[in-house]
Structure 1
Amino acid sequence: MSTITAAEPAEDAAHGVSLYRAIWRWHFFAGLLVIPFMLNLAITGSLYLFKDEINSTFFGYRYIVQPTGKTLPAARIAEIAASAVPGSTATSYKDPVLPERSAIVTVSGDAGSTLVFVNPYDGKVLGVVGSIDEFNYVVKRIHSLAYFGNTANRLIEIAGGFAMVLVVTGIYLWWPRRQTGGIVSVRGTPGRRVFWRDLHAVTGAFAGVLIFFLAITGMPWSGYWGANANAWLTEHGLGYPVQLWDDVPKSRKITEDILPKSGWIVEKAPVPLSDIAAAQSARPIGLDKAVEIAKRLGMAPGFDVAIPSDETGVYTASLYPEDLSDERTIHIDQYSGKPLIDIAFNQYPLLGRAIEWGINIHQGQEWGRFNQLLMLATCLAIVLSCVTAVVMWWKRRPAGRLGVPPMPPQRSVYYGLWVITGIFAIAFPMSGLAIVVMIAFDQLVVRFVPLLKRVLA
């Protein structure tokens, strides 16, 4: 028969306090490091959610046209676009998604890649803008920090992993522990710290699942995790169906090399080669015929067509729409017009479809206006969480010190947390490595350097 001593409840209480403080300390450090990145993601993400509305409102002069009869052939539109940028060659053509939309041609030359907007009815050039200077492209690149180079892009990948940590640790800290406020209600007034603490906790608790969703569905675009995840899925038969390429000659190019936009699952898929033997005797079918074939095969309006750059290239029609059931990529032999590869969304493996679905929701496209507003609300919740975190910290920090939550009394709690960190690091290496460095600095440096210990107290 066992005997329960009075020391056991006390030890349990001490362990609970230690765990709470350890997680609070993690939450504080993670938040301190990623607040600027989270604000950037939320603000630029909010803009990108409404890219179509922004295009129609601020750049309508190049996106909106008045339908006036029959449209010009695609090849003629491509010629007009190339002549608008001397020394350039058309590399892709975007079929108008609606009768009142312009055709968009990408041309390439010594000056780089350029977007030319053409009225498909009268051939008037409506606008010319560098591909990397187009507003929504710039917003998206700032969103991922790829605009500032690979190193900055890795930082945003780390921030995405930290966001997931913040959600999980934040829900643990919010979890009711006999308190009467700060669960679904906000106590006090803006002049008191408890008001900002409760506002921060309640916002995070109710928006946490959506914030976590945004963080994990944003990972496919990250430079390290995204590329490796795509390769792993393909290698294990969970990405694009590689068997479709078994009997087709392949080039060294991949789909994202030739198209302005494609589905994430197929962006690393190889581009086939046209019949090389036919290149000696046959003539290319031309852009008009390629567009006609894509439409005849059921490609929904708004698709892009990559134009072959040499005699072995293919025409590639691709659509990455709001309605994922219409997502499709068709590679067409430039001589015979034969579809070499025809892959649609319903052919992706289950996990591949799930990732594409998550990406589509992330971008506010899956359920129309409701999806946009839901993701906008999540972005605003992120901004509010960042602001309340800063105000809450400012009100509680001691003079001359950073105000880091205290070390846990029992260091043994870190053993279990190290295991959790290790598992997270396997799933998300960049973020996991950053967390390991953060904890090592906290445990091995701060503890033994009096100046740091005092400043971070």
Structure 2
Amino acid sequence: MPTEAQTPTVPTPTEQAPARSLLPLLRRLHFYAGILVGPFLLVAALTGLLYVFAPHLEQAIYDHELRVPAAQDSVPLAEQVAAAEAALPEGTLVSVRPAPSPTDTTQVILDEPGLAESYHRTVFVNPHDGEVRGVLETYGSSQALPVRAWLDQLHRSLHLGDVGRIYSELAASWLWVVVLGGLVLWWGKRRRRRVRPDRTAKGRARTLSWHGATGTWVALVLLFLSATGLTWSQYAGENVSALREALSWETPSISASAGEHAQHQGSAGHTGHAGHTGQQAGSGTGIGPDGALAAARTVGLDDPVEITVPANDGEVYVVTQTQRHWPTKQDSAAIDPATGQVLEVLRFDDYPLAAKLARWGIDGHMGLLFGLPNQLVLATVCLAVVALVIWGYRMWWQRRPTQAGFGKPFPRGAWRSTPPWLLVVLVLAAAAVGWFLPLLGISLLGFLVLDALLGLRRQRAG
């Protein structure tokens, strides 16, 4: 009979290593998140895949509006704007994008009654002879043409408005949780192969091998897409904006007010010129868009640019570079509409680092930053997400009992093996994350309530 000193001791749940005791809890969370959020991730991946190549699609569909035969001569911007205003007399001029090359059209952007927020009517003008090539509805700062705008709204909200945006916010809110949880589970066990699928495995082990290895390869891009996607979301996006404002991470911009520039100019300012503003750019008064463009060229603002015209008295021309692929060109300048004097220049190089990262992050998410390589990476990751979701559901099916039925979840009661102090930390962290990402918090609470109800039902049935 062994003595007390010789009697082997079995660690109680609270004596287990904290990291090890978390694994069962994390496994159950990953299971439920994958099952319940999987459909949202699948839809986001498929609609994102459609959007990735939308710029190429619109170039082909709208070739007549976007392209013209090259020629040596061109007519003044003011005449091009006048032709656009004649083609759309009910519109109000907002800005002009001069043709960046001899084979491009000039885009004259106008507001029109009845258009939804962020939508405009754009007239495409041949810069060589002033011919109007067409009029299209455009969307956002990237001037998305109808097909890309439609795919954008499909990915963003399934064309269901604010209600539809809940789907994409849920996907972005849970994506990083699922990815990080999956990485911990996959790399937390000793496996012969972590970054390559085990082709010798069978059944569920083979599916798990493909799921884990593929998830490892695309994890960084998925975390990037989750973070940048949340900046556009309806509820979490407001918190992201508030955080950026509190930390002074906002993107700087040039004011369109002549008065503000005059204050900076002091006695040398041009407040007396405020009465000359508010003229339509195509009317031939003031410097017009041609003078604004010429002034911007003197401070190094090369193509492509957008010239925002003064909408009211006391405002100035604002000329902004619009190149969003690498290297990014986002310099801008304020131009006095009466004299053509450059009142202020804002360089992208002078942006705070956080503002630059935000710009690059958004453009990378949209597939614009590095052009075709960027798009190919996004397309590959979208297809990987589709495969990951399918493999996840397949593993659920492969866990089903031998009789007919759905797959089993991982065992209940995992929280009992977690040290109390660690549970407190987890609850506080979940509350903080849930406050910052409201849809994540609400859905997580819903998971917990559902899990508790199912457990009570099973106890009563037993």
Counterpart in 1 of 2:449? 441
**Correspondence 1:411 to 2:404:** no
Residues 219 and 225 in structure 1, CA contact (< 8 A), matched pair in contact too: yes
Residue 226 of structure 2, aligned match among 188, 195, 215: 215
Match of 2:183 in 1: 171
* Corresponding position of 1:128: 135
Rate the CA distance shift 1:405–1:69 in 2: closer, same or farther, 3 A.
Answer: same
The answer as to 2:160 corresponding to 1:148 is yes
Shift of 1:15: 7.5
Q: Distance in 2 between matches of 1:59 and 1:4?
A: 81
Partner of 1:103: 106
Contact 1:329 1:342 in 2 (8 A): yes
Structure showing greater radius of gyration is 2
The residue that corresponds to 1:308 in the other structure is 310
For 1:437 and 1:8, the matched residues in 2 are separated by: 31
Structure 1 residue 165, shift from structure 2 partner: 0.2
Gapped regions of structure 2 (runs ≥ 5): 140-144, 262-268, 278-284
What are the residue-to-residue correspondences of 1:200-349 with 2, within 5 Å?
Answer: 200-241=211-252, 249=259, 277-280=272-275, 284-321=286-323, 322-349=325-352
| 2-structure distance, mates of 1:444, 1:19 | 19
Residue aligning to 1:61 = 64
TM-score after normalising by structure 1: 0.81
Q: Residue 182 of structure 1: CA displacement?
A: 6.2
Q: How far off its partner does 1:388 sit?
A: 1.8
The verdict on how the C-alpha distance between 1:389 and 1:292 changes in structure 2, with shifts beyond 3 A counting, is same
Contact 2:197–2:206 (8 Å) recurs in 1: no
| Displacement after TM superposition at 1:32 (Å) | 2.7
Deviations 1:286-322 (A, max 9, x none): 2221122222321121211222222233322222321
- Is the 2:48–2:155 contact (alpha carbons within 8 Å) kept by the matching residues of 1? yes
Q: What displacement does 1:14 show?
A: 9.9
Q: Which amino acid aligns with 1:327?
A: Q
Residue 320 of structure 2 aligns to a residue in which SS? strand
Count of aligned residue pairs for this structure pair: 427
Q: Which of 114, 124, 143 does residue 117 from structure 1 map onto?
A: 124
Q: How far 1:106 moved relative to its partner?
A: 1.5
From the superposition, tell whether residues 284 and 222 of structure 1 become closer, same or farther in structure 2 (CA, over 3 Å): farther
Question: Separation in 1 of the partners of 2:23 and 2:240?
Answer: 33
2:438 to 430, 444, 448: 430
Q: Equivalent residue of 2:190, what SS?
A: coil
Measure, in 1, the Cα distance between the counterparts of 2:293 and 2:7: 80
Specify the code of the residue in structure 1 equivalent to 2:154: I
Kept in 2: contact 1:18–1:408 (CA 8 A) = no
Deviation at 1:449, TM superposition (A): 3.9
CA apart distance, 1:235:
4.1
Distance 1:296 1:186 in 2: 61
CA 1:227 to 1:300, structure 2 compared with 1: closer, same or farther past 3 Å?
Answer: farther
The AA in structure 1 aligned to 2:204 is R
Aligned-pair identity (%): 26
From the superposition, tell whether residues 125 and 401 of structure 1 become closer, same or farther in structure 2 (CA, over 3 Å): same
Q: Against the structure 1 CA distance between its residues 292 and 5, is the aligned structure 2 distance closer, same or farther, given a 3 Å change threshold?
A: farther
Other structure's SS at 1:390 match: helix
C-alpha separation in 2, matches of 1:240 and 1:438: 36
Runs of 5+ consecutive residues of structure 1 not aligned to the other structure: 252-273
Q: 1:370 to 1:246 in 2, by over 3 A?
A: closer
In 2: Cα distance, 1:296 partner to 1:37 partner: 50
| Displacement after TM superposition at 1:412 (Å) | 5.2
- Corresponding residue to 1:138 among 150, 160, 163: 150
Which residue matches 2:353?
Answer: 350
Write the deviation string for residues 380-401 of structure 1: whole angstroms up to 9, x where unpaired: 2112212222333233345445
TM-score by length of 2: 0.80
Q: Which residue of 2 aligns with 1:255?
A: none
Say if 1:94 and 1:304, in contact at 8 Å, map to a contact too: yes
| Corresponding position of 2:11 | 8
User: How far does the alpha carbon of each residue in 1:237-285 deviate from its partner, in whole angstroms, 9 at most, with x for none?
Assistant: 332458x76997469xxxxxxxxxxxxxxxxxxxxxx977534367532
Instruction: Show CA shifts across 1:205-225 (max 9, x none).
Output: 111111111211222222333
- Secondary structure, aligned partner of 1:326: coil
> Does the aligned pair in 1 maintain the 2:251–2:355 contact within 8 Å?
yes
